[in-house]
Amino acid sequence: MVDLIHGLDAGRVGANLERVRAEIAAAGRDPAEVEILAAVKYVPVEELPALAEGGIEFVGENRAQDLLAKADAHPGRFTWDFIGRLQSRKVRTIAPYVRYIHSVDSDSVLAQLAKYAPPSLEVMIEVNVAEEPNKGGVLPAELGSFLGRVPAPVVGLMTMPPLSDDPEASRPYFASLRALAQRHGLRHLSMGTSQDYAVAAQEGATIVRIGTSLYR
């Protein structure tokens, strides 16, 4: 179990944010074209002001109840996205709070979006590019038909490649997601985390979801 992150320092967060931007630039991308989304699953609500003071604008939460608590505690301070596994019964509660849901991948979620999605909500489809058993995401071969059933505007795709200590191991999965997005005319690619965001940027990521690299 990962411990919650305490004692965040705004100066360190700001320095880490600039380092990540520099690494994205070194990877050959314009940092202005790659949004850094701070993953705050392990950041307690009382630590969030340090992120804002460090220059973080966009945050992503994995758990619906935590997103509501954190957003309510800091109204107007951040732009919120939902990036975790989404239970269909939670769609109604989070939809008014978020800009994007990154992890749409089931017909039960689509049914709830049809009922409760506000006009401002846009979504991304999670794709199981590696076709890993017991992992969330739409299979690549089923993406086209799934997209045809989504009742909210779809702006991009998201993926989580298989776990690896080698960032280069993620490259083929990121490249495959980029090809799928191009095929379907989708502009956003939500891919890359603390260990492989530079590779994700090289492969076309428009949003990287970073946690510990911003905080330590």
Q: Residues 64-105: pLDDT tens digits?
A: 999 999 999 999 999 999 999 999 999 999 999 999 999 999
Q: Compute how many other C-beta atoms are within 10 angstroms of the C-beta atom of residue 4.
A: 10
φ and ψ of 104, to 5 deg: -70, 125
Nearby residues of 40 by Cβ (< 8 Å), 6 or more positions away: 48, 51, 59, 60, 61, 70, 211
Confidence at residue 119, expressed as pLDDT on a 0 to 100 scale: 95
CATH topology of domain 10-215: TIM Barrel (3.20.20)
Does pLDDT of 166 surpass 70? yes
Nearby residues of 142 by Cβ (< 8 Å), 6 or more positions away: none
Q: Are strands 188-190 and 35-39 parallel, antiparallel or unpaired?
A: unpaired
Confidence at residue 2, expressed as pLDDT on a 0 to 100 scale: 63
Does pLDDT of 110 surpass 70? yes
Query: H or E segment at 172?
Result: helix 171-183
**How far apart (Å, rounded) are the C-alpha atoms in residues 190 and 19?**
20
Tokens of residue 163, six digits = 């776990």
**How far apart (Å, rounded) are the C-alpha atoms in residues 92 and 74?**
20
Among the residue ranges 43-47, 60-64, 132-136, the one predicted with the least confidence is 132-136
Q: Compute how many other C-beta atoms are within 10 angstroms of the C-beta atom of residue 119.
A: 7
Are 47 and 5 in contact by the 8 Å Cβ rule? The answer is: yes
Arithmetic mean of pLDDT over the chain? 97
Confidence at residue 22, expressed as pLDDT on a 0 to 100 scale: 98
Alpha carbon dihedral 126, 55, 24, 196, in 10-degree steps, equals -50
